Structure 1
Amino acid sequence: MASSFPIYVISSSIVRPENVHHSGREKIHLTPHDLDLLYVFYPQRGLLFPKHNKDNQIIPRLKASLSTALEIYFPLAGRLVKVNNHEDNTLSVYIDCDGSGAKFVHAKAESVSVNDVLQSCGSVPDFISHFFPANNVESHDALVSEPLLALQVTEMKNGVFISFGYNHLVADGSSFWSFFHTWSKICLNGSVSNIKPLVLKNWFLDTIDYPVHIPVSEMKTPPRCKTTTKERIFHFSKNKIQDLKEKANNEIGTIFPKISSLQAVVAYLWLSIISHSGLNREEETQCKVAADMRQRLNPPLKKECFGNVIDLATATTTVGEMLDHGLGWTALQICQKVRSVTNESYKTSAKNWTRNVKIPKIGVTTRLADHSLVVASSPRFDVYDHDFGWGKPIAA
């Protein structure tokens, strides 16, 4: 088996878009729903590929195609900028699309095999964190030094691991996987044919003045808490998912909305976690599911619209109530909250946010973390449709 720290960095560089200067691309204002994520960690994901052929040009080709992709997805190559509003003791934050570039790390883990990653019996191997380029980086860190996008390519004994971390203020999962697909397509084909220009989120919430002013007190960074985490991987077979879905729908009957597969699985996980949590029956617990707002808005945004356009659907109950009612009832709470996230609720929450700015911070008592199950990413993202030239991913 591989040693404790089997990974070493070959190089770390900045990749910039081919053409930096474009009129009308200088600044992107951030909405309240963006700014609410200032203290959220960079989402990090990784894809495990089979070993590429002995082409020594793979890294230069990845970097060249990345430069072309950043020409299209130019906000990811920008920087986060802070402006001091001295007249009212506030700050404003925006994305400067200046083409500063993305971080690109080339690493090697020659003693690590694909099986070391895959055959982990549910536990995530300790060395996996070294396969990612933005560990413990929060969105606001980009105001000081961090790029909005970091990528890492780790060459293994018999595989390649390509990972990324990105600032949630600039993009959500839907937008980012679209960028990743474009990058792989350019690398595979060596061109950008049939790739449409980026559709920007140039729609702003009614009755809100931009840039949004944030009280200086809300930008004070709390001390980072050292926490011990344990990551686990759970696999649900298609049959088990179907069983959970049928059980949940049978329990609630036909007069309620139909429970989806995802809602049934999330409800099962939530119930399982809470039942072993040791919390008192009177304590509150929440399940937060990210909802894509593009098609919920009025007028709707295009599906391919780039940016962060999500809202959290938050189901809240007490421990006792959940345990007494079981799977179907728990799944129904999630289902109803997802349905309740609408154009009206999105606009209202944004307006209320600007009236009383409170940015949740990880590591202190906040609505974002305590006794909560937060569901990130989506099963609808096509994470396996990426081929850089040596085959599609083995695992995500």
Structure 2
Amino acid sequence: MALSFPISVISSTMVRPEKVNKPGRAKIHLTPHDLELLYVFYPQRGLLFPKPDPDNHIIPRLKASLVTALKIYFPLAGRLVKVNNHQDKTLSLYIDCDGSGAKFVHAKAKSVAVNDVLQSYGSVPDFISQFFPANDVVSRDALVSEPLLAIQVTEMKDGVFISFGYNHLVADGSSFWSFFHTWSKICLNGSVSNIKPLVLKDWFLDTIDYPVHIPVSEMETQPHCENSTKERIFHFSVKKISDLKAKANYEIGTMFPKISSLQAVMAYLWLPIISHSGLNREEVTQCKLAADMRQRLNPSLKKECFGNVIDVLEALLLDHGLGWTALQISQTVRSKTDESYKTYANNWTRDVIIPKLGVRSRLADHSLIVASSPRFDVYDNDFGWGKPIAARAGPGNGIGGMLVVFPGVEEGSIDVHATLNSSLWSDVLSEPIDQMI
């Protein structure tokens, strides 16, 4: 269905939390694991909901509950601040929890129906990018004009799409979905009972001198490569996942730890994607995933700890079978420990290099980047008119190999929102999932 600019923006406002003056809320220093995400695009996710009753007056309700949610999750209403260190010609960054607020966009798409979003065979319509509020925004843009959080509510013909984009310096997916769930509970119940105060990572990496000093040269704008990309949703049923796990574990034998559902699915997708990439079969490529480090640290952080507490895993892969590929991913995940995490951070402060998009780095080309997690509680978010119908990711922003993982609507299933280079991987996007390998 071809639609030309179906979205009209009704308003764009700043929603601010109630002013609260509490000790320890003024400044949040950024760790090396935060700062290396300075050129990463804002993660954008969205949920499709059924159409509410007109008497719900959803926009005032959503804004009012957001005020309360931002009072609890106050870092999201802050701003990214730069300090020039003239003595050594460097600069430092921190989050100022000043309550400046989050951007709230109200839009309408009167000609767009739920079925236009939920297209057959997992197709993703071109207009979906207009349903997101932070396209082409990277973390460092918050130094100039961007808030740390942007939300868009798009009213459709027979549904509502609620999306968000947030700065990865201040939060990871686990923290953000916790905020989103709290926001939905407040909107549903009209109260904040039984909601615990925010737990921050205040002892975090205490062997490092804060603030971290960054060479000015590392803040120079770097162009990133623009790719023509296409998107598709791959749905993995419970049975399909079970079959993949069984096949992968059979191939590696009993000498190794069991392959998980996500590892089997990622290996399964990686094989046809890389075979259509045009790379030499013996050329080493990378599958990059984010690992939640909260429970891997010593002492561990509380599961509810708010912030960005992830590490980037890089599994080096060759064109082998499902079991071998899944095993490389599994072993890389298990290699991330308290020691490796802290050693990397300490080394980084001595030789600060911030990865840039489009150049050879931890964000290099010829990599498959896996974002989000099937463990995030996506479908238990009810603002007062029903739970979500589907989840979608925002535009890939020119990254030619991005897989955003969601839990499926069916418990135990997995959905993968794939953004792939259209010129190289168009065959993968058009193949039925059972025929991919």
Q: TM-score, normalised by structure 1?
A: 0.97
Q: What SS does structure 2 have at the residue aligned with 1:124?
A: coil
CA-CA distance at 1:366 after TM superposition? 2.4
Q: Is the 2:224–2:356 Cα contact (8 Å) retained in structure 1?
A: no
Q: Determine the structure 2 residue equivalent to 1:154.
A: 154
Structure 2 residue 66 is the aligned partner of structure 1 residue 71: no
CA-CA distance at 1:43 after TM superposition? 0.3
Q: Determine the structure 2 residue equivalent to 1:377.
A: 372
Q: Is the 1:20–1:98 Cα contact (8 Å) retained in structure 2?
A: no
Residue of structure 1 aligned with 2:344, choices 349, 352, 361: 349
Q: Is the 1:79–1:142 Cα contact (8 Å) retained in structure 2?
A: yes
Q: Determine the structure 2 residue equivalent to 1:211.
A: 211
CA-CA distance at 1:292 after TM superposition? 0.4
CA-CA distance at 1:2 after TM superposition? 5.9
Q: Determine the structure 1 residue equivalent to 2:285.
A: 285
Q: What SS does structure 2 have at the residue aligned with 1:100?
A: coil
Q: Determine the structure 1 residue equivalent to 2:273.
A: 273
CA deviation digits over 1:207-233, x for unaligned, max 9?
Answer: 210000000111111124433221111
Q: Matches of residues 152-301 of structure 1 in structure 2 within 5 Å?
A: 152-301=152-301
CA deviation digits over 1:196-217, x for unaligned, max 9?
Answer: 1000111221421000000011
Q: What SS does structure 1 have at the residue aligned with 2:233?
A: coil
Structure 2 gap ranges (5+): 392-437
Counterparts of 2:374 and 2:282, CA distance in 1:
33
Q: Is the 1:286–1:371 Cα contact (8 Å) retained in structure 2?
A: yes
Counterparts of 2:301 and 2:245, CA distance in 1:
31
Identity, % of aligned pairs? 83
Q: Is the 2:358–2:365 Cα contact (8 Å) retained in structure 1?
A: no
Q: What SS does structure 2 have at the residue aligned with 1:247?
A: helix
Quick one: structure 1 residues 370 and 194, their matched pair in 2 at CA, closer, same or farther if it must change by over 3 Å? same
CA deviation digits over 1:330-380, x for unaligned, max 9?
Answer: 100000000000000000000111111111111223231321111100000
Counterparts of 1:220 and 1:284, CA distance in 2:
30
Q: Kindly tell me the number of residue pairs found equivalent between the two proteins.
A: 391
CA deviation digits over 1:177-210, x for unaligned, max 9?
Answer: 0000000000011111111100011122142100
CA-CA distance at 1:286 after TM superposition? 0.5
Counterparts of 2:298 and 2:191, CA distance in 1:
36
Counterparts of 1:273 and 1:181, CA distance in 2:
34
Structure 2 residue 382 is the aligned partner of structure 1 residue 387: yes
Structure 1 residue identity aligned to 2:328? Q
Deviates more, 1:307-316 or 1:217-226: 217-226
Q: Determine the structure 1 residue equivalent to 2:133.
A: 133
Q: What SS does structure 1 have at the residue aligned with 2:291?
A: strand
Q: Is the 1:2–1:112 Cα contact (8 Å) retained in structure 2?
A: no
Counterparts of 2:31 and 2:85, CA distance in 1:
17
Structure 2 residue identity aligned to 1:156? M
Q: Is the 2:289–2:314 Cα contact (8 Å) retained in structure 1?
A: yes
Q: Is the 2:52–2:159 Cα contact (8 Å) retained in structure 1?
A: yes
Structure 2 residue 55 is the aligned partner of structure 1 residue 60: no
Quick one: structure 1 residues 367 and 24, their matched pair in 2 at CA, closer, same or farther if it must change by over 3 Å? closer
Structure 2 residue 332 is the aligned partner of structure 1 residue 337: yes
Counterparts of 1:194 and 1:377, CA distance in 2:
27
Structure 2 residue identity aligned to 1:345? S
Q: What SS does structure 1 have at the residue aligned with 2:231?
A: coil
Structure 2 residue 360 is the aligned partner of structure 1 residue 365: yes
Quick one: structure 1 residues 268 and 300, their matched pair in 2 at CA, closer, same or farther if it must change by over 3 Å? same
Counterparts of 2:189 and 2:377, CA distance in 1:
19
Counterparts of 1:345 and 1:311, CA distance in 2:
10
Q: Is the 2:76–2:149 Cα contact (8 Å) retained in structure 1?
A: yes
Deviates more, 1:70-79 or 1:368-377: 368-377
Q: What SS does structure 1 have at the residue aligned with 2:153?
A: strand
Structure 1 residue identity aligned to 2:203? W
Computed over aligned residues only, the root mean square deviation of the Cα atoms, in angstroms, reads: 1.1
Counterparts of 1:347 and 1:84, CA distance in 2:
26
Structure 2 residue 86 is the aligned partner of structure 1 residue 91: no
Structure 1 residue identity aligned to 2:83? V
Quick one: structure 1 residues 129 and 170, their matched pair in 2 at CA, closer, same or farther if it must change by over 3 Å? same
Deviates more, 1:295-304 or 1:358-367: 358-367
CA deviation digits over 1:238-258, x for unaligned, max 9?
Answer: 111111100000000001111
Q: What SS does structure 2 have at the residue aligned with 1:232?
A: strand
Counterparts of 2:365 and 2:115, CA distance in 1:
35
Structure 2 residue identity aligned to 1:234? F
Structure 1 residue identity aligned to 2:360? T
Deviates more, 1:366-375 or 1:79-88: 366-375
Q: TM-score, normalised by structure 2?
A: 0.88
Q: What SS does structure 2 have at the residue aligned with 1:353?
A: helix
Structure 1 residue identity aligned to 2:390? A
CA deviation digits over 1:104-139, x for unaligned, max 9?
Answer: 000000100000000243221000000000001000
Residue of structure 2 aligned with 1:328, choices 320, 323, 326: 323
Q: What SS does structure 2 have at the residue aligned with 1:373?
A: strand
CA-CA distance at 1:19 after TM superposition? 2.2
Structure 1 gap ranges (5+): none
Q: What SS does structure 2 have at the residue aligned with 1:234?
A: strand
- Of Structure 1 and Structure 2, the greater strand share is in 2
Counterparts of 1:261 and 1:172, CA distance in 2:
22
Q: What SS does structure 1 have at the residue aligned with 2:176?
A: helix
Q: Is the 1:206–1:347 Cα contact (8 Å) retained in structure 2?
A: no
Counterparts of 1:202 and 1:238, CA distance in 2:
40
